[in-house]
Structure 1
């Protein structure tokens, strides 16, 4: 990608309308450009053949489509593919493609590194290098070979989406708008640990599904695992969520990584039920993928099954998420950390 030119990919229709107005192009050109970018997925401006040659030349002076292919792809025996993208300054980010029968999900990143510093997360160990632009987020979705077959997008990759909400909301608009991908918001899930400045705004400005990373119902323990608990406690998050109707359009789920001997007891399950009482939600139990220099181990399947069955029996629909891609650095941030260390 030519770094001297501004990327068009990732621009909303309103941003394209400003662009064409400033460039002295006809108003309708904005919708034409959007169609070429998001429906036809062109990779250079010269492919936009219903724009005059003069107007294409004008755009080419300052702009580029801004699509950049992944620099590496690692495929698992189970079909999962982890893609690595360069985002400049010797930094890289990851996306994970997960095929599963009639579903094809892409897990995308929203930041380079992460400020949240959760104890169990490799991305947090990298520190924070910067927010991804809408261009860099959407590029993960648009440039992989499986782009046209995707059924679902989850913002569960590197970074905290609500710590970069302006850019994430732009991408959500493009994915769900008539001028863009025209996806239903029900095909998109945004995950968060709970960030005060972005949490309620997301609820108000997006209809996409919400997944809250909880990992323990006990505040003091959550603070040790997830420092974000200090900024926005899980009890406050739950109180905010009680004011929203999750019974129809939007789905609310809680992500719960299970650590052996830490948060996997029936006592924890009981406290979780008390915390979530009255909320229309589901719980996804996740097996922990070990990371270097962290003294945590994943719960065994028998313990996870007992935990799941207890929650489901007591009215909270609970699933155990299948582990995928364990042979290709499955833990989020592992592949990009290796690339970062290689570039030092």
Structure 2
């Protein structure tokens, strides 16, 4: 028997195609979108402004498709890591991060990752597939804290711009009037700089951009990020520089600090030169240790000195607070543990 398709994650145009396929009234697509994204129902039977006959017709081939997290872990600081099953022995994570004036959800875009950064647990899993728009939206819509969310960041498992088609549909649903109606200012997409996807993002989206830099020096960056060979930071930053960031979109540079590797003043000077003239901020990030890695987080003294050096250059620089260190803090650790348990 053919599996039923999920409605959750469909754009309005896709819902119009569903209505046409099933000979439903043209206005039914907007009604379905309203039930999915405004009212967040879990069953087609709840779509009460569709006739019973039309609900039955819709149910023959489709389901809403919202599923609850399979597990969660809560930190002493309030951070919650959710685990979602997205296939046979396939899992992804999202992380809810509450703060005084905001509540952020970090969502995944892929099962594993192709990029193989040496400091990332997700990269060790290898690449096991792209998430669908339904998988992405489900991470947001199914958690109990949904109503509290103020921000979404695509910084979870995977490289968002390596799954551009599904990402852009998710961004449409998040920001459109038929969907969540969020301002693009509430959404940040993180990337290591996949050229084709980045070009499309810069042209089509007003969401914020976060670029993973981690070293200003090509050879050193290549040693921890193989992607430097295909998409050199210098070329990616030149591409970013061409676009106007003075209005809605903000660009930030993410910089994980490793002890003795990229955390001295020479590196701070290199970063300043590389991004000079771009209205931006630099986020310094403490490294969350992963098993069997020689990498260690930079100490507070070095992080403060690095921040102060960039600040003196007129660059906005902050040190990101570490969250959830008691609950498999590093991205990919919980899903890896679950996968190994299943094996």
TM-score, structure 1 normalization:
0.99
Q: Which residue number in structure 2 is paired with residue 224 of structure 1?
A: 223
- Distance in 2, matches of 1:153 and 1:84, equals 17
Q: Which residue number in structure 2 is paired with residue 154 of structure 1?
A: 153
- CA deviation map 1:66-109 (0-9, x unaligned): 00000001000000000000001111000000000010000000
Corresponding residue SS for 2:259: coil
Q: Which residue number in structure 1 is paired with residue 257 of structure 2?
A: 258
- Distance in 2, matches of 1:118 and 1:229, equals 10
The answer to whether the Cα contact below 8 Å between 1:111 and 1:164 also exists between their aligned partners in 2 is yes
- Distance in 2, matches of 1:256 and 1:249, equals 23
Corresponding residue SS for 1:330: coil
The answer to whether the Cα contact below 8 Å between 1:196 and 1:231 also exists between their aligned partners in 2 is no
- Distance in 2, matches of 1:245 and 1:88, equals 40
- CA deviation map 1:22-75 (0-9, x unaligned): 110111000000000000000000000000000000000000000000000100
Matched, 1:281 2:252: no
Corresponding residue SS for 1:212: strand
- Distance in 2, matches of 1:89 and 1:231, equals 32
Task: Give the CA deviation at 1:197.
Answer: 2.3
| Alignment of structure 1 residues 176-187 onto 2, 5 Å | 176-187=175-186
- Distance in 2, matches of 1:242 and 1:329, equals 36
Task: Give the CA deviation at 1:148.
Answer: 1.2
| Alignment of structure 1 residues 233-272 onto 2, 5 Å | 233-272=232-271
Unaligned runs of 5+ in 2: none
Corresponding residue SS for 1:328: coil
| Alignment of structure 1 residues 1-344 onto 2, 5 Å | 4-344=3-343
Corresponding residue SS for 2:65: coil
- Distance in 1, matches of 2:172 and 2:98, equals 25
The answer to whether the Cα contact below 8 Å between 1:219 and 1:233 also exists between their aligned partners in 2 is yes
RMSD value, Cα: 0.9
The answer to whether the Cα contact below 8 Å between 1:273 and 1:311 also exists between their aligned partners in 2 is yes
Corresponding residue SS for 2:81: strand
Task: Give the CA deviation at 1:3.
Answer: 8.4
Task: Give the CA deviation at 1:330.
Answer: 0.4
- Distance in 2, matches of 1:57 and 1:173, equals 28
- Distance in 2, matches of 1:94 and 1:103, equals 20
The alignment of Structure 1 onto Structure 2 pairs a total of residues equal to: 343
